[in-house]
Amino acid sequence: MAMDPIRVVLFGLGPIGQRIAHTILGKRGIEIVGAVDIDPEKVGRDLGEILGLDRRLGVTVTDDADALLDKIGADVAVIATTSYVRTVYDQVVKCIEAGLDVVSTSEELAYPWVDEPQLAAEIDGLARQYGVTVLATGINPGYFMDTFPLILTALCREVKRIEAVRAIPTGQRRSSFQRKIGTGMKPEEFKAKLERGEITGHVGFRQSVALTAAALGWTLDEIKEYPPEPVIAEREVKTTYTTVKPGQMLGYNAVAEGIIDGEAVIRYKLVMHAGVEEGYEEYLIEGTPTIKVRMSEMLGDWETAHIAVNMIPRVITAQPGLLTMKDMPLPTAVLGDMRIFIT
Amino acid sequence: MAMDPIRVVLFGLGPIGQRIAHTILGKRGIEIVGAVDIDPEKVGRDLGEILGLDRRLGVTVTDDADALLDKIGADVAVIATTSYVRTVYDQVVKCIEAGLDVVSTSEELAYPWVDEPQLAAEIDGLARQYGVTVLATGINPGYFMDTFPLILTALCREVKRIEAVRAIPTGQRRSSFQRKIGTGMKPEEFKAKLERGEITGHVGFRQSVALTAAALGWTLDEIKEYPPEPVIAEREVKTTYTTVKPGQMLGYNAVAEGIIDGEAVIRYKLVMHAGVEEGYEEYLIEGTPTIKVRMSEMLGDWETAHIAVNMIPRVITAQPGLLTMKDMPLPTAVLGDMRIFIT
């Protein structure tokens, strides 16, 4: 193609951001032209070094997003910094005002109207004004508990209820993830940390429920998100992060529901603990017809990076505004040149 | 909503067309304003009677599409007449020229570029000229062997190979379907009929393979479609259509492949015979990551009607041209008012 490669600025070089960088580097027709992180350990270093490559990429990590956006002509920002709309807001606005389309892995931004309607309206208005698209995605929210059960309903005339269970054998996941789900903690300690807000449950649960309902035209009376329920080890379990002793937590189960007339028309459950031997996703669409699906488990961090990157060309060609996965064309892998949709 | 209901003209009142009519009648914000069929048994009768309803619908079936389209102001045509682009072409063109968007269940039209590139280009050009959208869909092609495996790849960085198997317990399906797959025939008789073109294998197989490849940016060297391979009864099997004696056919297996460099990068298999006890769809995406999915079986005719109807509001709002499922927004059930996307 004669067209220039898609030029990407990365925000956030944590576990997800680094995987996004690796994924982009494996693609054709796209290049990373800037990288932003606030970690003093990363600022000033070459991105190739941060990623553990044996070559420099000629992209120096900066903590000055304004200066970078001023001098660099980019097409898209991929923002993998924080889970919350409030904290990702300034970065998103900066990118919109610089004329960049935005793909983010911010969980709340996947359907921000549910908890941050005011900020969502502001982002949407700005994006339309500047003619750019903002989309947040990932595997959850973004896929397993919204996009995927939604596409199953395409076969249906009526849908009464949607259930999904995602079971993750957490003992092999990165330490920060295992810590976050209480692995090795006493349940009282975990609950106290939850109450003090030092740890949170699965961010994006409410957003998945709300996005599913919105796509189907369901007006929910309420979204119920139950506190994570500790799963306790009965025998010693070794994980890559710690050794869980009997009485300590292996992780937790968590449930979020979408309620209409007292009935849970949407019920999403996470089974995230080191006692899960084989992970899976299981779906039940109760309706006409009723559909059951079981999918093999994916651990998640890489897949979040993949789907974020696969959406880049679609975000470039989408209509302006703050969109969600229900508004996008069919998501698929982009295997050839990333400029495939751009004519 | 203040807006008028979506006005639909139906072409074809066979098994699929009737199911489409029933599905539309169960929805809000949409109405059937015309019905076309060439069957003298149906022409002149009220649609409600054809559908076995205990009420008249005020829609008289006609075989004169031109006169109908001249006098009726409709938004969308749903065409469920024939499987082939050549034979559905005139109807599609009539509807385009009358300014209607078109949803069809014509199998070849689901990806017409593979076998009818000239007619595809003509339909596409006309649709753009008249500012309308043409889409063919259904469950296969349209979902099980294109849209659905494609959305699984959204999780992937690389895809090496895609496999799908659809197993159907055919003994409970409508007689015309059982006859078409050779149920109760001697294999020699079936093969002779195949050779004489009196029966065909699964129409749309090549289209599913081509659509999958196109969405992923794969350029296939070849699409191989193997002749259906008879499955012979070893003991007597009763079906709703006939009793299959030992030595007679229960149905067949069929395979279509997409080939690159001598390798089948896409392999779709149909297991359609009365010996299948429990149907299923099984998927393997071999790549990074590898994904396995198993879905419970749906018999198919109703689901083709459901997905066709669920795509109506999306076709109304889509860009003009001849589109395929890969170009459409995420397909989902439309449960509330069918005007949901139309603002």
Say what the pLDDT of residue B199 is: 87
Residue listed under structure tokens 């969600």: A324
d(CA B134, CA B142): 14
The band of A2, judged by pLDDT with boundaries at 50, 70 and 90, is: low
Q: Which amino acid, one-letter code, is at A215?
A: A
Question: B30-51, pLDDT tens digit by residue?
Answer: 999 999 999 999 999 999 999 9
Burial class of residue B188 (count of CB atoms within 10 Å of its CB; 0-12, 13-18, 19+): exposed
Neighbours of B95 (CB within 10 A): 26
Tell me the pLDDT of chain A averaged across its residues: 96
Q: How far apart are the first and last CA of chain A?
A: 10
* Residue ranges with strand state E in chain B: 6-11, 30-36, 61-62, 76-79, 101-104, 133-136, 158-169, 222-225, 229-232, 237-238, 243-244, 249-260, 263-273, 280-288, 291-296, 321-323
Query: B 61-90 residues with CB below 8 A of A?
Result: none
Instruction: Give the model confidence (pLDDT) of B46-78 as tens digits.
Output: 999 999 999 999 999 999 999 999 999 999 999
pLDDT tens-digit readout, A237-265 = 999 999 999 999 999 999 999 999 999 99
CB B155 to CB A143 under 8 A? yes
Chain B contact present for A336, CB below 8 A: yes
Domains of chain A in start order, with CATH, are: 6-138+302-341 (3.40.50.720), 147-298 (no CATH)
pLDDT by residue (tens digit) across A201-218? 889 999 999 999 999 999
The CA distance from B279 to B259, in Å, is 27
Cβ <8 Å between A329 and B330:
yes
When CB atoms are compared, the residue of B294, B329, B333 closest to A159 is B333
How many Cβ atoms from other residues are within 10 Å of residue B225's Cβ?
15
pLDDT at site A292: 98
Contact assignment for A329 to B334 by CB distance below 8 Å:
no
H or E element that contains A267: strand A263-273
Alpha helix (H) residue ranges in chain A: 15-25, 47-50, 65-71, 85-97, 117-130, 147-153, 175-180, 187-195, 205-216, 301-317
Chain A residues whose CB is inside 8 A of the B329 CB are: 326-330
The count of CB pairs under 8 A between chains A and B is 161
Question: What local confidence, expressed as pLDDT, does residue A125 receive?
Answer: 98
C-alpha of B100 from chain center: 20
Instruction: Name the DSSP class of B271.
Output: E
Question: Is the pTM higher than 0.90?
Answer: yes
* ipTM greater than 0.85: yes
Is B307 touching A (CB cutoff 8 A)?
Answer: yes
Torsion of CA A189, A256, A151, B337, to 10 degrees: -160
At residue B322 the predicted structure's pLDDT band, cuts being 50, 70 and 90, is very high
Question: In A, which residues are within 8 Å of B334 by CB distance?
Answer: 217
Closest CA–CA distance from residue B90 to any residue of chain A (Å): 28
φ and ψ of B174, to 5 deg: -60, 150
CA distance B342 to A314: 21
Contacts of B307 in chain A (CB under 8 A): 154-155
Q: What is the per-residue DSSP string for A214-229?
A: HHHT---SEEEEPPPE
* B154/A218 touch (CB, cutoff 8 Å), yes or no: no
Mutate to test the interface with B, among A220, A330, A334, A339 (most CBs of B within 10 A): A330
Task: With H, G, I as helix, E, B as strand and everything else as coil, classify residue A254.
Answer: strand
The answer to whether the peptide bond before residue B141 is cis (omega within 30 degrees of 0) is yes
The whole-angstrom distance between A308's CA and the closest CA on chain B is: 9
Give yes or no for A306 touching B (CB within 8 A): yes
A325 touches chain B (CB under 8 A): yes
Distance of CA A237 to the CA centre of its chain: 29
Distance CA A268, CA A271 (A): 10
Chain A residues touching B215 at Cβ < 8 A: 330, 332
Q: Please indicate if any CB of chain A lies within 8 Å of the CB of B317.
A: no
Residue B106 to residues A330, B92, B137, B210, B303, Cα–Cα distance (Å): 21, 10, 7, 16, 15
Instruction: Answer whether A217 sits within 8 Å of B340, measured CB to CB.
Output: yes
**What is the rounded distance in angstroms from the CA atom of residue B305 to the CA atom of residue B300?**
9
CA distance A44 to chain B (A): 29
Residue whose C-alpha is closest to residue B102's, from B332, B310, B337, B316: B316
pLDDT one-digit tens code per residue, A158-192: 999 999 999 999 998 889 889 999 999 999 999 99
Residues B290-303: what's their mean pLDDT?
91
Burial B272-301 (b: 16+ CB within 10 A, else e): bbbbbeebbbebbbbbbbebbbebbbbbbb
Complete DSSP assignment for A86-103:
HHHHHHHHHHHHTT-EEE
Q: Which residues of A touch B330 (CB under 8 A)?
A: 147, 150-151, 215, 325-331
pLDDT of residue A343: 66
Q: Which residue type is seen at A287?
A: G
What is chain B's mean pLDDT, rounded? 96
